[in-house]
Structure 1
């Protein structure tokens, strides 16, 4: 996230069980920008964590799981439950908030919360003189914005899940979201709701979409579907994505079309830089 003629300002806090960092890019020589927006983003995410954390006994989600009526809880819990139900239908059962037989919206909430905070507090910065881009990174899941008047590109590296510290591909994003899921970072933690078994065939799945909410859900779907099944991309409206299997096989798509790639070999995947944008730069 750098470039000649630009300055980067960054802030970071640990929230929602991960490190959240905020980055604002300005033209060299422009005043520092983004401090208030960063504080507002962090406060927004802490509030969402207060309501939705499954690790806090006093959270609204924990109270719901303990038998409290939905009508007595924060109204956002119902909104999230409805959204999770809609995603379960859209994913044809590959995503659910009920994989453990109790309500756990964690697979939805982080992406949704980070996107909402970014759109409310960071996106308006793009109109500030001297600011060319702003973005948020929550444990590798990103929502990114760039000014129409700038040629800035966000360069996002995709880690090799089989060789820590190495990169298998680089994505260049103007505006959009990037989300990654899989077993490489957190081990086996995703359950296939159709079978109740752990999803283990995908080491890493990275999805690029307009929205981090969508990218995060579809990355989970990619892990659940498995490395041999890309049928879901026809319904997903993602921009592109890469799935790396537990054996090192690589599958990549653009839109709803799969692109021939190959294997991860000696720390190198046969991938090229992919410029991605929802608009002309």
Structure 2
């Protein structure tokens, strides 16, 4: 998470001579969201400062709006109204169809490891948070990169983040991947100029991810016991968030889903501390003494 403890994020905070960080936060989606804008000067011109504040507020407002639209925990959300028959599908917000179609494609690509249909009703919570952050970031924070004083911007919710850097800016986000077995410890660091990072697993919320594959009888879905923690780095947060969930459902010993995932990198941490890593869809394993190992020459 950018600028605060749990799962993953920028842990540097900058230096006194580095970019100055402007942060706006809000409680939503059952977590805390934050909009970050980095400027070269500590005190931007008043008009630039006003545009930064307005963009941050608009990004957080959009997340509030999407939460109100998609939350299955709110009786007045359109998802809930569709479920109880109070709203006809043709009268629903078109963004619900957009998310529904994306979830159908993801279910097919993941071999059923992801499915937004839970016990006969549509629940896109495993997809929509990442998608919402990505949408709000692109709509409200990305245009700020055209300002001469703006170096970078990022939007995060519950540790999942979409990060942006202005073209030509001398800035790289330093993303810390938290150790799920040692609270407060950082397991790895990833330098990232542009892209998205999402973490899924039991370390923050306990066992809450359901295996949706049809081997389970309807109505018998249970949270996966002993699930690993997955962190996925991709271009888009909708992909990173969803495929992190896929990785958790697949389990520590199964990386076959990588061949159907978008270009991504990441790591899995098993409940017993074992680690698997991959980069751009290829597993990166620790080398063993193997006489058949092909080592490139100079």
The answer to whether the aligner puts 1:51 opposite 2:69 as a matched pair is yes
Aligned to 1:98, which of 117, 124, 135?
117
Query: Deviation at 1:138?
Result: 0.6
Query: Deviation at 1:69?
Result: 2.3
Q: Which runs of 5+ in 1 are unaligned?
A: 263-281
Q: Distance in 2 between matches of 1:73 and 1:107?
A: 20
* Higher-Rg member (1/2): 2
Conserved? CA contact 2:69–2:77, under 8 Å: yes
Query: Deviation at 1:131?
Result: 0.6
Written as runs of structure 1 = structure 2, the 5 A alignment for 1:105-124 is: 105-124=124-143
Conserved? CA contact 1:202–1:243, under 8 Å: no
2:60: which partner in 1?
42
Written as runs of structure 1 = structure 2, the 5 A alignment for 1:21-170 is: 21-29=34-42, 31=44, 32=49, 34-67=52-85, 68-170=87-189
Q: Distance in 2 between matches of 1:200 and 1:218?
A: 19
Aligned to 1:243, which of 238, 252, 268?
268
Query: Deviation at 1:158?
Result: 0.8
1:279: which partner in 2?
none
Helix, strand or coil at the partner of 1:232 = helix
Q: Which runs of 5+ in 2 are unaligned?
A: 1-9, 288-298
Query: Deviation at 1:204?
Result: 1.3
Conserved? CA contact 2:229–2:270, under 8 Å: yes
Moved over 4 A (4+): none
Q: Distance in 2 between matches of 1:34 and 1:126?
A: 10
2:223: which partner in 1?
198
Conserved? CA contact 1:107–1:217, under 8 Å: yes
Query: Deviation at 1:47?
Result: 1.0
The answer to whether the aligner puts 1:254 opposite 2:279 as a matched pair is yes
Aligned residue-pair number: 262
Query: Deviation at 1:203?
Result: 3.4
Helix, strand or coil at the partner of 1:189 = coil
The answer to whether the aligner puts 1:209 opposite 2:234 as a matched pair is yes
Cα displacement string for residues 214-270 of structure 1 (whole angstroms, at most 9, x for unaligned residues): 0000000000000000111122123310100111110000012111149xxxxxxxx
Query: Deviation at 1:77?
Result: 1.6
**TM-score, normalised via structure 1 length:** 0.89
Conserved? CA contact 2:146–2:166, under 8 Å: yes
Q: Distance in 1 between matches of 2:180 and 2:109?
A: 28
Conserved? CA contact 2:35–2:60, under 8 Å: no
Conserved? CA contact 2:207–2:227, under 8 Å: no
Q: Distance in 2 between matches of 1:239 and 1:73?
A: 33
Question: What is the RMSD of the two structures over their aligned residues, measured on CA atoms?
Answer: 1.5
Helix, strand or coil at the partner of 1:34 = helix
